[in-house]
Amino acid sequence: MSLDAQLTFADHMARFCARRYSYPPMVGRVLGYLAVCDSPAPTIADLSNALLASRTAITNAIATLESVGQVVRTRAAGERMDRVSIDITSARGLGMDNTEYAELGALAREGLELLRDAPPERRAVLGEIAAFTDFLCSRIPALYEEWRKEREALIAAGEIPSPQTEGRRP
């Protein structure tokens, strides 16, 4: 695959991530490029050169992606630079980390406590958020486990590479 095709894909990912997650374009470009680049774990300098961006911009994008569990940095013994790869197994990166929903639910219940004497109409939004987050917290663990089993079956069938050969996770 040519570098131009890789960069085009990275730009498409940047637009998607900006539209769906309000990420700065560089965050999506880094994620998109990591998904299609030849190196399974490029360095920050490699990313900077390929994406024609400053190391600072790349480092900031990686920090954002790390904060949501979508990439990991590694450093082999004796190396003096970080390598970056996509983490496709992280519950957090897949949106299946219940702590986010549990925190939002607790915040909604805190607001409901503040509004305990308010009319039901005023409490409605927070009540629905609390109920929805409770629903997610009860259902996501089973869904995540179902995905893990499906992933194992796909690996066993050879439809996706095993973690040892995929080169996208240390």
Q: Residue 1: its pLDDT value, please?
A: 79
Kindly give the interhelix angle for 98-114 and 120-156, rounded to the nearest 10 degrees: 170
Q: Is 48 exposed, middle or buried (0-12, 13-18, 19+ CB in 10 A)?
A: middle
pLDDT digits (tens, 9 = 90+) for 128-148: 999 999 999 999 999 999 999
**Euclidean distance between CA atoms 138 and 140, whole angstroms:** 6
Residue 15 CA, distance from chain mean position: 16
Cα dist. 18→6, 14, 49, 92, 144 in Å? 18, 6, 22, 19, 26
Kindly tell me if the per-residue pLDDT of 83 is higher than 60. yes
- Mean residue pLDDT across the chain: 91
Measured between its terminal Cα atoms, the distance across the chain in Å is 23
Strand partners, 73: 84
Q: Residue 115 is which amino acid?
A: L
Other Cβ atoms less than 10 A from the Cβ of 85: the count is 19
Two tokens, residue 12: 């498409």
Confidence of residue 169 (pLDDT cuts 50, 70, 90): very low
Kindly tell me if the per-residue pLDDT of 164 is higher than 60. no
pLDDT digits (tens, 9 = 90+) for 84-109: 999 887 888 888 889 989 999 999 99
Q: Residue 95: its pLDDT value, please?
A: 82
Predicted TM-score (pTM) of the model is: 0.79
State what percent of residues in the chain have pLDDT above 90. 78
**Residue 52: half-sphere exposure toward Cβ, Cα within 13 Å:** 6
